[in-house]
Amino acid sequence: MKKYLNLFDFSQKVDYKTEILSGLTVALALVPEAIAFALIPGFSPLTGLYAAFVMALVTSILGGRPGMISGATGAVAVIFVGLILELKNTFPGIEPVTILNYTFATVILAGTLQILAGVLRLGKFIRLVPQPVMFGFVNGLAIIIFMAQFPNFYNKETGALMTGSPLFIMLGLTLLTMLIIWGLPKLTKVVPSSLVAIIVVSAIVIGFGVNTMTVADIMREGETIKGGFPPLSIPQIPFTWATFKIIIPYAAIVAGVGLIESLLTLNIVDEITQTRGRGNKECVAQGVGNIFSGFLSGMGGCAMIGQSLINTSSGARARLSGITAAVMLLVFIMFGSSLIERLPMAALVGLMFMVAIGTFEWASFKTFGKMPKSDVIVMVLVTLITAITHNLAVAVLLGVIISALAYSWENAKRIRARKHTDENGVKHYEIYGPLFFGSTTLFSEKFDVQDDPEEVIIDFKESRVADMSGIEALHKITERYAKAGKKVHLKHLSNDCRRLLQNADSIIEVNVLEDPTYKVVSDEF
């Protein structure tokens, strides 16, 4: 009989076995990525591993999405490359330890900004990300995960592609890993297939002494993942305005990239689990995690979609799996480094290949020829930008901007005006479609000021004045009628529009008797 425990979330049942085994699988997958991401800006492997431990533990306990995994990420690591270059240009001959201190300070400041974003409830703005952008983001990320595994097929000493037996061994073990992950769930789901695949392939390599690339081979000479509990590190940097000016831009980018990637990952996990996470709570958790990471010798990070998908695909749905992953990662660092360093990279590469295949939205291909061209273009563009630049924040922001412009353009073309003159000689303009910055030019072209009668009614029953550009368009058209000595009535304007127009009472006469009451949807729902 299964035992369940309500851990930190009394509405969520926790299956001990599934959560612990899933967490162990995630911990194994975290090791090579944390090391690889730490090496991007030139940090030691432990800097990435400590960040992975702290981020995974804090966000698993405090986060808004049970089952989601955070750690050191490539998106954040790349930002530190720019910071290091600026530090070296500003302070020639700067010591590596001083660079680390600036990095930790940047991570702490980024965490503070993320907490502020959560407190101000800015997490809800992730709703503005359209589905084509989500598809593009996920597909681009899948390509990144897939392509990131190929350096493991190159000889570390010569930099050339493996040939002969080393290549065939690497391919064979990778394919065996993928086969186990794909086939085992068809036979049994008692244990996560990813964990079984890693254990089986590792047993073959270690047991038979197979000569193939291991975790130790991806590290630089003399480096190790062996360490203790993350040491306390209070950044030793000058607390001056000059220092602040150096780190604040990078802290803001780290905070922004981290929140965008984390909230998008939260949405993806929401869809997989058919549950709803809490974006603002996740913002605060990411911030707290980064602050702790900065004070505990870590390079910071954010949510990891690859590890999150490994976790959820293994059946984990609660916080215990993330906590287990963090604790086991620390155990590896403190006690199991020699064993972890012997794990074959082929097993981890095969695992990440399967993650990439599972991450890619294959259904997005069905949108070609069926969805609006603008949506397809946005999806493809975000995919390419994500895959080429590895800058997820820029890709998403560009996608949102292009989607917004495409939407505005389509809505701008929808403005219409039905015209008729009643028995009293009053001309009516019945406006259809939204009046906003994109449609003001077409709106102005609908009116024949010179040939219209002395009295005109502009009816907004089927329209809406959406912004200040629309208000300004109304000012201009009423001024044109006023200069021609003609009177204008505006009907069916909403209360907010009438308030904005109150300064134009001398020109505009608003019919308030027939105006409907508009209600705004509350954010509480």
Residue 29 CA from chain centroid, whole number: 20
Do 27 and 101 belong to one domain?
A: yes
Q: What tokens appear for 92 in the block?
A: 């020639």
pLDDT confidence of 351, banded at 50, 70, 90? confident
pTM of the model: 0.73
Residues 6+ apart with CB under 8 A from 1: none
Do 48 and 140 belong to one domain?
A: yes
Phi, psi of 42 (to 5 degrees): 90, 20
DSSP 309-370: HHHHHTT--SHHHHHHHHHHHHHHHHT-HHHHTTSBHHHHHHHHHHHHHHHS-GGGGGGTTT
The 8-class DSSP code of residue 229 comes to S
How would you class 475 by CB atoms within 10 Å of its CB: exposed for 0-12, middle for 13-18, buried for 19 or more? middle
What's the mean pLDDT in 424-431? 92
Angstrom CA distances, 445 to 72, 416, 439, stand at 56, 10, 10
**Domain range spanning residue 505?**
413-511
The pLDDT assigned to 507 comes to 45
Is 163 in a helix, a strand, or coil? coil
Asked whether 347 and 140 are in contact (CB, 8 A), the reply is no
Residues 6+ apart with CB under 8 A from 494: 464, 465, 515, 516, 518
The 8-class DSSP code of residue 12 comes to S
Residue 403 lies in a domain: no
pLDDT confidence of 147, banded at 50, 70, 90? confident
The pLDDT assigned to 75 comes to 78
Whether the predicted pLDDT of 357 surpasses 80: yes
Q: Determine which helix (DSSP H) or strand (DSSP E) holds 259, and give its type and residue range.
A: helix 241-273
Report the distance separating Cα 415 and Cα 440, nearest Å. Answer: 9
The pLDDT assigned to 496 comes to 67
Whether the predicted pLDDT of 7 surpasses 50: no
What's the mean pLDDT in 446-461? 91
Asked whether 431 and 447 are in contact (CB, 8 A), the reply is no
What's the mean pLDDT in 486-509? 67
Do 215 and 305 belong to one domain?
A: yes
Do 47 and 115 belong to one domain?
A: yes
Do 204 and 344 belong to one domain?
A: yes
The pLDDT assigned to 520 comes to 38
Number of Cβ atoms within 10 Å of the Cβ of 439? 25
Number of Cβ atoms within 10 Å of the Cβ of 332? 23
List the helix and strand counts (H, then E) for the chain: 18, 7
pLDDT in tens, 241-251: 999 999 999 99
List 429's β-bridge partners, or say none: 419, 458
Of 324, 358, 376, the one marking the end of a domain is 376
Residue 507 lies in a domain: yes
The pLDDT assigned to 8 comes to 46
What's the mean pLDDT in 366-392? 84
How would you class 150 by CB atoms within 10 Å of its CB: exposed for 0-12, middle for 13-18, buried for 19 or more? exposed
Residue 296 lies in a domain: yes
- Of the listed ranges 43-52, 242-251, 473-482, the one predicted with least confidence: 473-482
The pLDDT assigned to 20 comes to 93
More confident residue, 76 or 292: 292
Do 457 and 356 belong to one domain?
A: no
Domain count, the chain: 2
The 8-class DSSP code of residue 209 comes to T
Residue 389 lies in a domain: no
Do 371 and 470 belong to one domain?
A: no
Report the distance separating Cα 160 and Cα 173, nearest Å. Answer: 20
Whichever domain contains 454, its CATH number is: 3.30.750.24
